[in-house]
Structure 1
Amino acid sequence: MRISYNWIKKYISIDLSIEKISSILTDIGFPVKRIKKIFIEKENHIEDEDNILDIEITPNRADAMSHYGIARDLYAVLTFRGYKKVHLLKPIINNSYQKDISNNKYCFQIFIEEKKKCIRYSGIVISKIKINPSPNWLSFRLKSIGINPINNIIDVTNFVMHELGQPIHIFDMDQIEGKKIIIRNAKNHTIFESVDNRKRKLNEKDLIIHDTKKPLSIAGIINSKNSNINSKTKNIFLGSAYFDPMTIRSIGKRHFIKTDAKFRFERGVDPHQIVYALQRTAILIKKITKGKIGSDIIDICSQPIFPFKIQLRYKKIRETIGKSISKEKIKKILFLLEVIIVSENEKFLLVLVPPYRIDVQREIDLIEEILRIYGINNIKISNNNNIRISPFPNFFHKTKEEIQKIISKQLVCHGFQEVINYSMNKKNEYSCLLNSFFNRKEINIINPTNKFYNSMRSSLLFGMINCIKYNHNRGNIKIRFFEIGKIYFQENNKFLEKTFLSLSMSETEKKRMIDPINSSSFFYLKGIIEQIFQICGINNYSQILFSHPLLEKSISIQYKNKNLVFLGKIKEEFFLQKKEIFYAEIDWEYLISFIQEKKVLYVPYSKYPTSKRDLSFLIDKTISFEKVYQLMKKKEKGFIKKIEIYDLYEGRNLPKSKKSYTISFFFESKKKTLTDIIINKIMKKIEEFLKKELGAKIRELSQ
């Protein structure tokens, strides 16, 4: 947003350099991107110079999107910091317009039908105006911030909008049928031809300003072509309003409307400044055009607009800012921000925040305002800094229940739902096959109350399958389930129980084709498991192909040479439905055992850069990436920081027994910068090793 320094000085008495003002604005949350000096020329000689500040204003600071808004914040911070002779001067409003009301010949009415969408609407008529070019002072003001002057009427409304932040819309009064302004929703299929020569089809969601016959404007953000003023206009109607910001935002988005009025209305204007801005506009137009005030101001407020009530605790201020600020200074800042203190005691203040500060509705927002004016640079940083070494949960001294809660929360965040299945199930050929494979003896129930529950479950898989079938039969095809539960079996004539974490994912083939990124897949589920490993601090794990009796394309993920996870796709003949279901089972007790033993070690980051090299080679289809990965880890431990698979290709232009890998190697040293000569030597060793151990054929990446 462009702000004229000379313009600001009309509202605040300051005599500081533009560089100092720029620094202060940046300190209080308005970064100045650049300062541009301009010269105002009149009658072929330099009349004056000005400095234009290009300021970044965040969308929530609608109150600062004007020259007076910026001046108001500058006044608060300069006064608090002890600058003397600083005064805030609001734009002049007087009652001179009332002298013409006795000659009033216009009686118009305002009706608000959509009271939730239009909170307040005010209007006034000015008659006997003459549309001409604007006076020099007005043209100079607008040109300084990059606005081209149009005529003395439109230029005044643009001036007031950039002065006070309130959009004002103008209609040709003689074109308003019935002398009535009605704010209501449009009727479906209403054709609206706007001043930008576009025809828009409106519907019942669109808020319009209407007379007794036709629409005049879409919510004050763009006028109808027929109601807009022109060179023949003699009498005008000025409207000033507060519209619901969400309504304006949706209308602008729906109809691709981008105007300055829309920009401000959708962020929220000051509801208590509606009449004030209208008076300011009327006085300027009357003065410039020699027109007459043709009516009283009619102000309709559909619902009361109250300040935001906040309880501000001194303790909370101290804890948030990290410094104890005296109560006197806190109260002074609040006074300068026009925040009213209703009551107070030793512990807190009860305050009212003006409605124009739509960004300050919570205690924490008000504390941020106090810090902003107090100065964040005045908060000293302690030499004793507490930092969290790892972004992952700290499992030190955590119970099993606490660890379970953390990991369950992680799964829920990825869209999984926890299920709890029965501890008993029906003995069948598949359970016998599974128990035989794992050398488990099933525990039978002597007196089952239900024939479907005649044995203790020896795997979480069967309960999970039943749960998935139940959901599929009722139309729930996108499934992500997890269960942490016990299994029961006999071993060496002892009854044992063991806890596992099971995960399952299921989606239809059609759904996966539409949304491949979020689809249930082997690699997605494996990624979820690897994230669990990551938060548990498990890094040096390996994976091998594994022949599970009920899973196909399955793998075993091992940690310290012991099985930790089984993962694969459930065989269709077992599930009896043509749907892809992926299942994983994690040895929960083994996972918990080494989580609790883990210790956090601090390893400083290398101050030397990381380098990357890609290597592409042909290899037998039977050789997995995991085998390549494990061999490379053992071969080059020194400078290789990370190994990732970049691409896998098999098919056309390759022998049937071969596949192509492209693998990325990341190199880093703690002691020195690795030069190309060093890395090239390492890559040469890797190539020779792959050729010798795996029969790989190196490919050129450019081919």
Structure 2
Amino acid sequence: MKISYNWLKKYISIDINAEKVSVILTDIGLPVKSIKKIILDEVEDSILDVEVTPNRTDAMSHYGIARDLYAFLKFRGDTVHLSKPVIINEETNHHNHVQVFIQENIKCIRYSGMSISEIRIEPSPHWLVSRLKSIGIKSINNIMDVISFVMYELGQPIHVFDIDQIEEKKIIIKNAEKNTYFQSSDRITRKLDEEDLIICDAKKPLSIAGIINSIQSNLHVDTKRIFLGSACFSPVVIRIIGKKHLIKTESQYLFERGIDPNQTAYALQRTAFLIKSITKRKTYFHITDVYPSPIYPSIIKLRYNKIRNVLGKEISKNKIKKILSLLEIVIHSENNKYLFVCVPLYRIDVKREIDLIEEILRIYGINKIKISDRVKISPLPNFFYKTEHQIQKILLEQLICYGFQEIISSTMRNENKYSTLLNSFFNREEIRIINPINQNYKLMRSSLLFGMIDCIEYNCNRINYYNNSNIKFFEIGKIYYKQNDKFLEKTYLGIVILQQIEKKHVEFQPFFYLKGIVEQIFQKSGINNYTQIFSKHPLLENSISMLYNNKNLVELGKLKNNILKKKEIVYAEIDWEYLISIIQEKKITYVPFSKYPTSRRDLSLLIDNTISFEKINQLIRKKENHVIKKIQIYDFYEGENLPKSKKSYTVSFFFESQKETLTDKIIKNSMKEIEFFLKKELKAEIREKK
């Protein structure tokens, strides 16, 4: 991001040691004599190339950079002053104001509008042209240049319409109708649908979510009255629209990273002040502000001992409070151990206590934290000797890190044909409640699956589509059933993923993604020698069972479509009690990494379609070939050009030794043994070797 040094100095009194490049910014054809009139401050400028992380939208503007520099320099002890951009406070009465209506409160958080009359479209003054030109922006006219100036000054995008082109003087923020064709200012016609957010008048769309205007709503030389819009949209909505319609504008760049909702009206007042200053005409202003569901600053608990433990240094309480004050973070309440602080809305990156500690370190100075010359290594955690509660905490935190959310569902259920089918498959009998409180809850649950399905349906009906395209839940709880005249209860861990079938762009395959999650749990638990077989689960299609010591540990598969229509749900159920017993019996073993390279060979096989890859894997493992480190499936095909009873696997073999670099001769001999063994045991036909 380009920052003009002279522009920055308008807000903060600093002297940055930057290499200054003398430039003369003039209009084409300007006489040499008039160059003398250019103020020296406008002639000599330095352009600072600032890299800002995507979550710091508050620093994506000149004033934002100045505000951040002020906090650092003031804490350092420099004499520095911060000047906030001047705005117009009074509102003049006139009859040209425009009404604003928001129909999509979730997508459009706040919309502020301003009507301005008695303007004149003309060239911008030299200072404005120079400011924009210094950061690579070409001047258009006085109104458009002021809008660009405010966007780069405050980081708030503003769009403008000709009031005479607004039907019935109404601005409506809503979803577009299906098959709406929109010709934007870049002369590209785009086809919109019901998911696209638009700004329109009573009859036609004027803009796509404030990021690109219609070609008909552009200003022209005879424009006398304008309407300025300053909005705060949902970043997710803008990101989806920009990606779908291939729109890349500065407004879209800022909107999709998050805008401060408290700045929308202020940016309009700043724009009005600049327009009034450069036009030098008697203009009339009227502001309309619609904020349906106000967002309030979040309150975060900040503990002094947590700051000390994270930073490794004691920082005085007065210095911590001073840093927070300079960052405009207000102390709500406090005691000797902690603070409750209110974070301003423009700091969208500060959500947790650790974020506050990072801010304190940033202003305090990381160079002031001394690092010990000694390197300390924590002892290897004794994971396999922990209690069940400790194991549960570790594994569930792992699921949370993968983006799953924990749910708790009722242990009582209603009778349905699917639960009956499930119990008959596992030879279980459901437990009935003699005197149920509600007829909908007259059975004890015999599976976690149905409670998770109810939770998915509830969320799909009440949460915005953009937030529930992929739902990931887990639950650990007991199930209850009767078997051989005994009442039993067992603990299971259920994991479920929902993916919308109608989604156009599939980000991942849910089945393999969930299988990978389960395998990551196994890896963390030290479970390596497990096997997989195809299962005939009554409610899951293409399901597999994962066994340990020939005992069922996991059931995993995709829910059949007739249970929950238009939803692709993948479910895994882990026998929690068996998993805990395996972990507690495991002992830690240490195997050093090999210092010798790994070699890979691929083998294509044509085999009977009843043979699974797991069977191939287990057969080869039994041969005890010590140089084979890993076996994985690379490709699978069945269909045209193959016999109906056959399928093709391409299997990758990874060879590695702890003692020596494997020669090509050793690897070739191992591959010959594998080929001979597969031909003998599976009657496989070797198709290709690589």
TM-score range relative to shorter protein: 0.5 to 0.7
**More off after superposition, 326-335 vs 216-225:** 216-225
Distance 1:300 1:633 in 2: 70
Q: How does 1:500-539 map to 2 (within 5 A)?
A: 534=523, 536-539=525-528
For 1:384, the equivalent position in structure 2 comes to 376
Amino acid at match of 1:294: T
Aligned equivalent of 1:163: 153
Corresponding position of 2:4: 4
Instruction: Return closer, same or farther for 1:54/1:398 CA change in 2, 3 Å cut-off.
Output: same
Q: Which residue of 2 aligns with 1:109?
A: 97
Aligned partner letter, 1:610: T
Q: What pairs with 1:220-369 in structure 2 (closer than 5 Å)? A: 221-223=211-213, 225=215, 227-233=217-223, 235-237=224-226, 239=228, 241-245=230-234, 249=238, 259-265=249-255, 267-274=257-264, 276-289=266-279, 291-296=280-285, 298=287, 300=289, 307-360=297-350, 363-369=353-359
Name the CA distance, whole Å, in 2 between partners of 1:187 and 1:651.
44
1:601 is the counterpart of 2:589:
yes
Alpha-carbon contact 1:118-1:183 (below 8 Å) kept? no
> What is the CA–CA distance in structure 2 between the aligned matches of 1:613 and 1:665, rounded to whole Å?
5
> Which residue number in structure 2 is paired with residue 14 of structure 1?
14
Gaps of 5+ in 2: 36-42, 414-422, 429-433, 435-444, 458-473, 496-500, 537-541, 558-569
- Is this contact kept in 2: 1:11–1:91, CA < 8 A? yes
For residues 448-477 of structure 1, what are the alpha-carbon distances to aligned partners after superposition, in whole Å with 9 as ceiling and x for unaligned? xx9xxxxxxxxxxxx989x99xx9xxx9xx
> 2 CA distance for matches of 1:174 and 1:690?
80
Query: Cα deviations across residues 643-662 of structure 1 (Å, max 9, x unaligned)?
Result: 23445667887789987653
Aligned residue runs from structure 1 range 37-76, under 5 A: 48=44, 50-53=46-49, 55-58=51-54, 60-76=55-71
Amino acid at match of 1:8: L
Corresponding residue for residue 425 of structure 1? none
The more displaced of 661-670 and 296-305 is 296-305
Q: Please say if residues 384 and 588 of structure 2, whose CA atoms lie closer than 8 Å, have aligned partners that are also in contact.
A: no
Equivalent residue number for residue 73 of structure 2:
78
Contact 2:151–2:158 (CA under 8 A) maintained in structure 1: yes
Does the 8 A contact of 1:186 with 1:203 survive in 2?
Answer: no
Letter in 2 for 1:292: R
- Code of the aligned partner of 2:526: G
User: In structure 1, how many angstroms separate the alpha carbons of the residues matched to 2:577 and 2:222?
Assistant: 87
Unaligned runs of 5+ in 1: 20-35, 422-430, 436-441, 443-449, 451-462, 490-494, 506-510, 548-552, 570-581
The alignment partner of 2:385 has SS state of: coil
Shift of 1:68: 1.2
Does the CA-based 8 Å contact 1:609-1:673 persist in structure 2? yes
The residue aligned with 2:529 is 540
What one-letter code is carried by the residue in structure 2 that aligns with 1:51?
Answer: I
Distance 2:278 2:315 in 1: 50
Q: CA deviation at 1:597?
A: 1.9
- Seen in structure 2, the aligned counterparts of structure 1 residues 594 and 287 have a Cα distance that, compared at 3 Å, is closer
Please give the alpha-carbon distance, in whole angstroms, between the structure 2 residues aligned to 1:627 and 1:195. Answer: 61
In the aligned structure 2, how far is the partner of 1:11 from the partner of 1:610? Answer: 59
Write the distance in 2 (CA, Å) between the matches of 1:284 and 1:105: 19
Between the aligned partners of 2:166 and 2:225, the Cα distance in structure 1 is 10
Secondary structure of 2:284's aligned partner: coil
CA gap 1:697/1:165 in 2 versus in 1, 3 angstroms: closer
Task: Give 1:78 deviation, angstroms.
Answer: 3.2
**Aligned pair in 2 of structure 1 residues 120, 609: CA closer, same or farther (>3 Å)?**
same
- In structure 2, how many angstroms separate the alpha carbons of the residues matched to 1:137 and 1:398? 71
2:562 aligned residue: none
Does 2:602 correspond to 1:614?
Answer: yes
Q: What displacement does 1:164 show?
A: 1.5
| Alignment size in residue pairs | 600
* Structure of larger gyration radius: 1
Query: Do 2:530 and 2:546's aligned partners in 1 also have CA atoms closer than 8 Å?
Result: yes
Per the alignment, do residues 270 and 292 of structure 1 end up closer, same or farther by CA in structure 2, a change over 3 Å counting? farther
CA deviation string 1:359-417 (max 9, x = no partner): 44554543343233334565566743447769xxx44243599779979x989989999
2:120 aligned with 1:129, yes or no?
yes
1 CA distance for matches of 2:534 and 2:254?
62
Residue 579 (structure 1) aligns with: none
Question: Could you list the per-position Cα deviations for residues 520-574 of structure 1 after superposition, in whole angstroms to 9, with x for gaps in the alignment?
Answer: 9xx9999898677555533235689999xxxxx99998766x66679999xxxxx
- Greater shift after overlay, 150-159 or 583-592? 583-592
Deviation at 1:294, TM superposition (A): 1.8
1:663 to 2:651 alignment: yes
Q: CA deviation at 1:237?
A: 3.3
What is the TM-score normalised by the length of structure 2?
A: 0.64
SS at match of 1:700: strand
| Letter of the structure 2 residue corresponding to residue 65 of structure 1 | M
CA distance in structure 1 between the partners assigned to 2:284 and 2:339 by the alignment: 44
Q: Secondary structure at the match of 1:615?
A: strand
Contact 1:238 1:278 in 2 (8 A): no
- TM-score with structure 1 length normalisation? 0.63
C-alpha distance in structure 2 between counterparts of 1:199 and 1:71, whole Å:
39
Cross-structure match for 2:132: 142
CA RMSD between the two structures? 6.3
Query: Comparing 661-670 with 246-255, which one deviates more in the overlay?
Result: 246-255
Equivalent position SS for 1:12 = coil
Quote how far apart the aligned CAs of 1:330 are: 0.9
Note if contact 2:47-2:135 (Cα within 8 Å) is conserved in structure 1.
no
Instruction: Please give the alpha-carbon distance, in whole angstroms, between the structure 2 residues aligned to 1:650 and 1:583.
Output: 26
Question: Does 1:153 find its partner at 2:143?
Answer: yes
Report matched runs for 1:191-210 at 5 Å.
Answer: 195-196=185-186, 198=189, 208=199, 210=201
Confirm or deny: 8 A CA contact 1:644 1:665 kept in the other structure: yes
Mean CA deviation greater in 242-251 or 1-10: 242-251
| CA displacement 1:434-493 (0-9 Å, x = unmatched) | 99xxxxxx9xxxxxxx9xxxxxxxxxxxx989x99xx9xxx9xxxx9998678877xxxx
- Describe how 1:410-559 pairs up with structure 2 within 5 A: 534=523, 536-541=525-530
Q: Deviations over 1:123-152 (max 9, x none)?
A: 3636353512x4454334333433332223
Give the drift of 1:232: 2.9
Aligned counterparts of 2:310 and 2:316: Cα–Cα separation in 1: 15
Amino acid at match of 1:90: K
